[in-house]
Amino acid sequence: MAIEPLADETAGTISLGDLEVRRLGFGAMRITGEGVWGPPADRGEALAVPRRAVELGVNLIDTADSYGPHVSEELIAEALHPYPEDLVIATKGGLERTGPGAWPRNGRPEHLREACEGSLRRLRLERIDVYQLHAVDPDVPYEESVGALKELQEEGKIRHIGVSNVGLSELATARSMVEVVSVQNRFNLGDRDAADVLEACEADELAFIPWFPLSAGSLAEPGGPAAEIADRHGATPAQLALAWLLRFPAMLPIPGTGSVAHLEENLAAATLQLSDEEVATLTDA
């Protein structure tokens, strides 16, 4: 599939509060080292990926202070600052890193304040467009974690607030305290456990940002429906998975990669037109 610059009509747009973004963003977790730890093996390629994403019309980049840790945010600033006027930078706080593959949760208000202020410095921003609470910390009342973000927003350090890895209860709690513009949960063709949260986002016009969006699970195995439909379109199962996600009006996929070639392959999925029958086959599988 050929890669063409994203336009508003390609995959559509979606609102994050008063911000309008194209409905295929870039997740910057994979521009770090192996295990999302330390610097990338190829720094030049890691810097080229976000630059190419912006060249191709992406105007939402999603990262987190825990990616590296800190490495992803630093590379984004090095690659793109001063930022294009329409570029929305979203980041997250609430996870710590004690080593490759280790992601302990920390939702204490003092940690979230420190995390947010660190992100501001690394991203070279005075205000973060969308700041997301990365996870629910079972050792901290959720109201206290959300309250910390509310204070930071009132201080002008956060423009909009999002939540991540939540159920309906946590989403309701957050929305009772602040305006929530987005929810970032795991969701893909092979894992739809967050379907109830997606439905709530669709009902209330919140953006739903699916992480791990490229997976199609067993549906992508030879002879599986995702593999067969992808073959008919001359596409990969991963591209098909993205095209299926884009059929949900609240969906805002942010596929991530550390490769320019893979980035271009992902963005090409925005031009993949699935029939209603194909969508139904995938949804029912």
Specify the residue for token string 């202020």: 117
Q: Which helix (DSSP H) or strand (DSSP E) does residue 174 occupy?
A: helix 168-177
Question: From CA 99, how far away is CA 62, in angstroms rounded?
Answer: 22
Contact in structure between 104 and 65 (CB atoms under 8 Å): no
Q: How far is CA 23 from CA 58, 107, 151, in A?
A: 9, 29, 29
Q: Which of 67, 83, 131, 142 is catalytic?
A: 67
DSSP β-bridge partners for residue 37: 68
67 is catalytic: yes
- Tokens representing 152? 């930071």
Q: How is residue 170 written in tokens?
A: 């946590």
Helices assigned H by DSSP within 81-154 = 109-123, 142-154
- CA gap 68, 235 in Å, rounded: 32
List active site positions: 67
